[in-house]
Structure 1
């Protein structure tokens, strides 16, 4: 049975400038003949495919924090949606706090995704949107409403405000939804991600393993942030990069000495190769 390597993207596999070095590409791609390789990310299919155009992926990908499981050639394996009625209640409650979310939704059966945002944006959201200016799936709305099939709802802002909103929404919805509050390292604020209760990276990995007949005892995962903790608990070996959140490091089996900007994962994988080479 082949070893399985599944990595988070942002601040783990990707450099902070969202690039992937030639060294990392070479080391990662060299594993594809004898290993199962995939990613588990908060990113959409569209962005993930852009980032990984030179990267070998030979298993379904866990996308949008586990709300979507899909192959690189756009075959949808599984979805976990927030229905429109619930999503619109969430948007209304956030509006009482003066903040409006990004809504990531499925636009059609061809795996085209919609990125909805309000015309009322805070400075953090404005900065994030500068990275999506070339994307054709952005939709601005004066009165933002959800679509029928919503992968996730994401608020960005100050930690205190988002904690208050999360507490209110948890009171309304209980455990029927999943709430992830975490630091947003690119723009220096926090983000609150709201998902279907079964949408997470760990659930996604289980779906991939069942679909592909993979052995979880062969699984190594890489991550840096709180939304990686579920897959850390599931994996046989969990690996945190040097720049990971302190709690993530505490829960990891291995903490690397290198950061995402120092090709941490590639150096780890190359080290495994050296360790198994006969002396």
Structure 2
């Protein structure tokens, strides 16, 4: 039975400049013949494929926090959507707090085309994020944003206190019909609140891939740094937290690395296994 390695992207596998070093690529790829290799990320398919040029991925990927399971060649394995009606209700409730979200949706399932929806009303954190996406061709600007029919996730960005209040408000209305993830956003120095289908998470994604491929979770090693990684930490035989991981994530990990993502922590761990 092959070993399985699944890693988060941001602040784990990617460096802070969103690159993957040659050392990490070569080390990771050296495992591809004898191991199952994949990714579990909050990122879209489009961005993930862009970042992972030259990186071997031989299993379905967990994308958009688990709302999408797909292969690198765009085969969709599973989806967990929020419909238009509940998504529009979330938007309306959020606007009572003076904030509109980003919405990540499926525009076309035949060629796995994602849409990134945003309103013309933006806060400073959202503007900074959009500056990073200025060349993306899936951006859709709206006046009075409305959701599409199939929505992967809704993301609010702002100050922690505001988003915590919004999360509590939404949970009081929608309860367990949705999943709510509040976490720090290191790139722009704020917090983000992600709203998802209740089964859209990395742990459900791992279970889906396990059933699809057929592998033993005891032989699974996962790498991560943030709160949305904890679910897969609880499932894996070995969970590895980066040196830069959130304290709560380190507490849940079997192993805490002495290297961060800018120091090729994942690759150095894998290289160490070969030397053991």
TM-score normalised according to structure 2 size? 0.99
Does residue 1:215 correspond to 2:225, yes or no? no
Kindly state the Cα deviation for residue 217 of structure 1 after the two structures are TM-superposed: 1.1
Does residue 1:4 correspond to 2:4, yes or no? yes
2:140 aligned counterpart, secondary structure: strand
d(CA) in 2 for partners of 1:191, 1:253: 27
Correspondence 1:234-245 to 2 at 5 A: 234-245=235-246
Quote the residue 1:29 is aligned against.
29
1:248 aligned counterpart, secondary structure: helix
d(CA) in 2 for partners of 1:67, 1:274: 37
Quote the residue 1:226 is aligned against.
227
Kindly state the Cα deviation for residue 53 of structure 1 after the two structures are TM-superposed: 1.2
Q: Which runs of 5+ in 2 are unaligned?
A: none
TM-score normalised according to structure 1 size? 0.98
2:90 aligned counterpart, secondary structure: helix
Quote the residue 1:45 is aligned against.
45
Kindly state the Cα deviation for residue 145 of structure 1 after the two structures are TM-superposed: 0.2
Q: Which runs of 5+ in 1 are unaligned?
A: none
Correspondence 1:166-181 to 2 at 5 A: 166-181=167-182
1:107 aligned counterpart, secondary structure: strand
Kindly state the Cα deviation for residue 106 of structure 1 after the two structures are TM-superposed: 0.1
1:91 aligned counterpart, secondary structure: helix
Quote the residue 1:201 is aligned against.
202
Matched residues, number = 275
Kindly state the Cα deviation for residue 176 of structure 1 after the two structures are TM-superposed: 0.9
Q: Once superposed, which parts of structure 1, at least 4 consecutive aligned residues long, lie more than 3 Å away?
A: none
Q: C-alpha offsets along residues 144-176 of structure 1, whole Å, 9 cap, x if unaligned?
A: 000000000000000000011100100111111
The CA RMSD measured in Å over matched residues stands at: 0.4
d(CA) in 1 for partners of 2:119, 2:243: 36
Kindly state the Cα deviation for residue 143 of structure 1 after the two structures are TM-superposed: 1.0
